[in-house]
Amino acid sequence: MRRAFVFHAGPDFKGSCDAVVRYLQAEKFSCQTFDVGDARKDPQPWIDAYPNLMTRVDVIVCLAHGGWDGPLVFGGAPLQARNLSPQIARGYSNMAWPAVCAWFRNMLTAGGVAVIHACHSAGSNQYETAQYDHADRWVQELSEDARITTVGVEGTTSSGIGSQSVALLKHVLRGTSPPQATRVYLPGGQRVARWSGWLNQGKR
């Protein structure tokens, strides 16, 4: 059976997590979930305390608030208790970036995919790009440095709404139309121009 790991940032994303799990189970995935807590209020585990499963998974899904420097999931103490950010990226809190890349790489099977449903996980959309000079694309950096397939969304998103997260996952797995501008990167950071769906590639 295919395997998936879904982690979410606190109660704001619990309903979305449940909807994603139901969809994955309908697609014949076994699922494990993990609540990392709300970065604004809860202690979050550091990346080295994230689960390491004995058996690798085919799909990782992250549901969280986010920004150009990644999802707000890598935390420690709540935001109001410290000046550190729960975001880790290649150029931001970057001492821990190799650990983030290693965790994703070690969790995924060869050919697996990481789906990051968080605002700006794939950088700015066309409207923001016209206004701001801010082109960081976190999922591209993760693909380049962890050498895995990644998917993220441009601009703001609604990862706390289950129907939106499921629509994104249907795009990832089945190649249906995405709910918003989306980017897919192959291991090493090459962007896919036309994505046909993970389940439609080879024997899945």
Instruction: Name residue 119's amino acid.
Output: C
Q: How confident is the model over 109-165, as pLDDT tens digits?
A: 999 999 999 999 999 888 776 566 566 799 999 999 999 999 999 999 999 999 999
Taken in order 168, 191, 123, 31, is the CA torsion positive or negative? Answer: positive
Count the domains in the chain. Answer: 1
Please check whether residue 164 is in contact with residue 158, taking contact to mean a CB–CB distance below 8 angstroms.
yes
Q: What is the DSSP string of 154-184?
A: SS---TTSHHHHHHHHHHHHH-PPPSS-EEE
Which residues are paired to 57 by β-bridges? 108
Q: What pLDDT was estimated at residue 78?
A: 57
Q: What pLDDT was estimated at residue 132?
A: 62
Count CB neighbours of 185 within 10 A: 24
Which residues are paired to 34 by β-bridges? 7
pTM for the model: 0.93
Q: What pLDDT was estimated at residue 84?
A: 65
**Helix, coil or strand: residue 103:** helix
Domain extent, residue 68, equals: 2-200
Q: What pLDDT was estimated at residue 83?
A: 54
CATH number of the domain where residue 34 is located: 3.40.50
- Residue numbers of the chain with a pLDDT score lower than 50: none
User: How are beta strands 2-8 and 190-191 bridged, if at all?
Assistant: unpaired
**What are the backbone dihedrals phi and psi of residue 60, each rounded to the nearest 5 degrees, phi first?**
-115, 135
